[in-house]
């Protein structure tokens, strides 16, 4: 799959640990979110996931089916074997994860997203950005869904990273339907969320707001 | 791939941790071993493997190429995503690993090997043996290549397990060219080894002895 910056517009990050360890709930939310128009999905089975290998693969296969049918690119968080096992379109890694050049050498067709906390981390990153398709920048706001999250950088922090790179940026961390408006006009391709969708009582409406259609 | 008991005759288990963390040495040994006639290979990247995800997948891809060209079935030790990622023929798991029924449900075409220490463990195993293709039984002798190895059960212990199952058995643990003769006549399909091949100065000769052609 060729990378398209537009696919970062509303990027859902989800794993069983975000929905009371219930894989069926992950499936339901991914289905509703894809129907509602999310533009990318990241399968992130981490931080005390209670699934075993078979359950992790099985859920990944289901998410792959749904996203494929919807034409939505699927990324796997920091797990190259899993990404290849379920036929994901891409992988998302952090600064301390497997080097992007090594991933690209092994799986040249895989899209690659890289987390960058802030301007300092971009400046000091050893990653070869030539093989990276997009940057995930944040946390923008304080978040409770990711463990050991760094300090919130606010929309100004995102803008300062954007000024120093030509890579498309998806802003992440603490973004909700109630504060996404603060990113309107930011030099970003889109927003990545977990709870803004997983905890939503009306996923279709939440996705619409995150898209900016109701801003 | 359809399972064939004959494929258990000389079964090489190998990972970078067995050869001073040198992936190129794994490749060399797998090549020589396949040329020498080993009948199965298990890729076991465990116990302080120093490879990252990309290196683990890359080495797996190389082993897959070699074994495929040689027509030798490839198993991956206890890593379902990796097995699927590199297109292995099978997976080998222990009693405490992912349940075999769950693996079979997710990957019905994958062959499944299951470790059984001794008669007691076979009797108490909760695994559904209907989805298992073979049992790895042992350690037969004291081994230093596997951490936390259980007590040696000797050829008599292997025979006692064989008497209680119709599944083909590959004996494992401490088997060397110097003691494999003690298993001659045992009701087993073959022997699994690590150092008998990885530490051999003449792999072709070692494989021949392990095959029993020089017994």
User: pLDDT tens, B107-146?
Assistant: 999 999 999 999 999 999 999 999 999 999 999 999 877 7
A57 to chain B, any CB pair closer than 8 A? The answer is yes
Mean pLDDT score of chain B = 95
DSSP three-state, residue B142 = coil
B42/B88 Cα distance (integer angstroms):
9
If you search the block for the tokens 């409770």, which residue do you land on? A144
Whether B82 contacts B76, CB under 8 Å: yes
pLDDT score for B129 = 97
| Angle made by CA atoms A196, A199, A201, in degrees to the nearest 5 | 100
Q: Is A102 on the interface with B (CB under 8 A)?
A: yes
Tens-digit pLDDT profile for residues B144-183: 777 677 899 999 999 999 999 999 999 999 999 999 999 9
Q: Would the pLDDT of A48 be above 90? A: no
How many angstroms away from the CA of B52 is the closest CA of chain A? Answer: 6
Bridge partners of A171?
A137, A191
Query: Can you name the CATH fold of B5-211?
Result: TIM Barrel (3.20.20)
Report the distance separating Cα B144 and Cα A29, nearest Å.
Answer: 48
Give the Å distances, CA to CA, from A37 to A18, A33, A177, A208: 20, 6, 15, 8
Percent of chain B with pLDDT over 90: 92
Chain B contact for A98 (CB, 8 A cutoff): yes
Q: Does B52 touch chain A (CB under 8 A)?
A: yes
Q: Chain A within 8 Å of B85 (Cβ-Cβ)? A: yes
pLDDT at B145: 72
Nearest to B149, CA basis, from B198, B120, B115 = B115
Could you tell me what percent of chain A has a pLDDT over 90? Answer: 92
Instruction: State the distance between the two ends of chain A, measured CA to CA, in whole angstroms.
Output: 31
Residue with tokens 């975000």: A18
What's the confidence (pLDDT) of residue B148? Answer: 75
Q: Can you say how many angstroms the Cα of residue A133 is from the centroid of all Cα atoms in its chain?
A: 13
What residues of chain B lie within 8 A of the CB of A53, using their CB?
79-81, 97-98, 103
> What percent of chain A has a predicted confidence (pLDDT) above 70?
98
Query: Is a pLDDT exceeding 70 seen at residue A157?
Result: yes
Average pLDDT of chain A to the nearest whole number: 95
Task: Output the pLDDT for position A10.
Answer: 98
CA-nearest of B171, B166, B164 to B115 is B171
Question: Which tops the pLDDT comparison, B57 or B215?
Answer: B57
Dist CA A55 CA A58 (whole Å)? 5
Indicate yes or no: CB of A98 within 8 angstroms of CB of B53: yes
Known binding positions of B for Mg(2+)? 78, 97
Q: Taking CB atoms and an 8 Å limit, are A82 and B81 in contact across chains? A: yes
For residue B169, which phi and psi values (nearest 5 degrees)?
-120, 135
B6 — pLDDT class (breaks 50, 70, 90): very high
pLDDT over 60 at A172, yes or no: yes
> What is the predicted pLDDT for the residue at B113?
98
When pLDDT is averaged across residues A153-168 and rounded to a whole number, the result is 97
Per-residue pLDDT for B215 more than 80? Answer: no
Residue B85 has pLDDT above 70, yes or no: yes
- In chain B, residues with a C-beta closer than 8 Å to the C-beta of A91 are none
Please report which helix (H) or strand (E) contains residue A37, including its range: none
Q: Hey, which residues does B13 pair with through a beta bridge?
A: B42
pLDDT confidence bin for A215, thresholds 50/70/90: very low
Binding residues of B: 42-46, 77-78, 97, 115, 143-146, 174, 194-195
Cβ neighbourhood burial of B186 (10 Å; 0-12, 13-18, 19+): middle
Across the interface, whether the CB atoms of A57 and B82 are under 8 A apart is answered no
Lowest mean pLDDT among A182-191, B147-156, B201-210: B147-156
> Which of helix, strand or coil describes residue A68?
helix
CA-CA-CA-CA torsion sign (B202, B207, B213, B214)? positive
Find chain B residues with C-beta within 8 A of A79's C-beta: 53, 81
Are B81 and A105 inside 8 Å of each other by CB?
A: no
Cite the DSSP H helix spans in chain A.
23-36, 53-70, 80-85, 100-106, 119-124, 154-162, 195-198, 203-211
């Amino acid at each position: 799959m060729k990378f398209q910056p537009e696919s970062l517009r509303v990027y859902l990050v989800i794993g069983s640990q975000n929905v009371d360890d219930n894989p069926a709930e992950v499936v339901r939310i991914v289905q509703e979110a894809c129907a509602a128009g999310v533009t990318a999905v990241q399968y992130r089975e981490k931080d005390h996931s209670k699934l075993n290998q078979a359950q992790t693969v099985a859920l990944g296969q289901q998410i792959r089916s749904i996203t494929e049918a919807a034409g939505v690119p699927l990324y796997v968080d920091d797990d190259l074997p899993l990404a290849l096992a379920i036929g994901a379109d891409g992988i998302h890694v952090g600064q301390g994860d497997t080097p992007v050049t090594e991933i690209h050498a092994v799986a040249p067709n895989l899209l690659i997203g890289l987390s960058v906390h802030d301007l300092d981390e971009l400046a000091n990153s050893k990653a070869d950005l030539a093989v990276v398709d997009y940057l995930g920048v944040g946390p923008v706001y304080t978040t409770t869904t990711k463990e050991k999250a760094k300090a919130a950088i606010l929309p100004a922090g995102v803008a300062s990273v954007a000024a120093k790179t030509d890579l498309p940026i998806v802003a992440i961390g603490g973004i909700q339907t109630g504060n996404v408006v603060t990113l309107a006009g930011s030099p970003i391709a889109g927003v990545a969320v977990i709870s803004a969708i997983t905890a939503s009582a009306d996923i279709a409406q939440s996705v619409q707001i995150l898209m900016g259609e109701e801003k």
